[in-house]
A and B are shown apart, each in its own frame.
Chain A
Amino acid sequence: MTGAGSRRYRMMTERVAFGVIRLLAGLVVITLGSIVLFFALSGCERHQLVFPD
């Protein structure tokens, strides 16, 4: 049967792998967010809708 060691190893693998997947998906979402933000901000600037400091 499964020893405690291999069990801990399996849990760790799972955590690391899912962490990587979350990171990748997060990067994609952040990329998208910053693109939209970039265009929104430069559009505002063009129309002199500068936000107060």
Chain B
Amino acid sequence: MVATSDIVIEVRDLDFYYGDMKALRGVSLNIKRNQVTALIGPSGCGKSTFLRLLNRMNDLIPGTRVEGQVVFEGKNLYDEDVNPVDIRRRIGMVFQKPNPFPKSIFNNVAYGPRLNGIKDKKRLDELVVRSLKQAAIWEEVKNSLDKSALSLSGGQQQRLCIARALAMAPEVLLMDEPTSALDPIATSRIEELVEALKKDYPVVIVTHNMQQAARVSDDTAFFYMGEMVEMGNTERLFTKPEKQQTEQYITGRFG
């Protein structure tokens, strides 16, 4: 059994609506410390929607509604007195398509710290270098920090986006299909990076690629039609699924 202190985010009976459409029903699961949690499932099953609920990114879409609780550090993220801006500072996010700002590499990484009011050049330098090293891109860009981030390749851009998220010193890192726009080599570099990051950050990764989930994650949750069907240790889930739907999905009978 896992001790409660190992749980970073506890989701209880989460329902989510886009207007009248119920996109998620009754999802409950735990995100644990020092682990990679993978969310898998066919397209439209609600896994990305669920991920975006963990840092309140869905607040930006008008006409959505949330019921249930997402407890982070003992506090429900959807309580009235919680400011979503504060949540997003503490829970970082990396998107499907690399989306660096049309600014220099340095300014991309420094964007978050500057929002936090860090103006001191030395401290910014330190933070940028540390984040780029953590995201395993420092060696490639150390001589071109003033160049536009858009001059990097897709895989480099994605690692830069990870560095940008890490510069905020987040408590959790959310990744929404971070390799779906990348080639196999860039993908394996990101996967190595995810492995390395889990020592310091709990990672939640959405992927449509089951092999990827099997390679990088410790726990896997299978989503289908807006419900969380099954969750457990990745190896166990892929070898001995408890539910029939899970088995059908991982054996490729639908998807």
Contact = CB atoms under 8 A, between A and B. Distances in A.
> A contacts B directly in the complex (CB < 8 Å)?
yes
Interface of A: 1-3, 6
Interface string B105-141: 0000000000011000000000000000000000000
B81 to A, nearest CB: 14
Where chain B touches its partner, the secondary structure class is loop
Contacts of A3: 117
A27 B213 CA distance: 55
Interface residues of B, number: 3
Interface of B: 89, 116-117
6 contacts: A1-B116, A2-B89, A2-B116, A2-B117, A3-B117, A6-B117
A1 B116 CA distance: 6
Contacts of B89: 2
Q: Which 4 residue pairs spanning A and B have beta carbons closest together?
A: A6-B117, A2-B116, A2-B117, A1-B116
B52 to A, nearest CB: 23
A6 B116 CA distance: 9
A36 to B, nearest CB: 30
B102 to A, nearest CB: 22
Contacts of B117: 2-3, 6
A27 B83 CA distance: 32
Contacts of A1: 116
Contacts of A2: 89, 116-117
Contacts of B116: 1-2
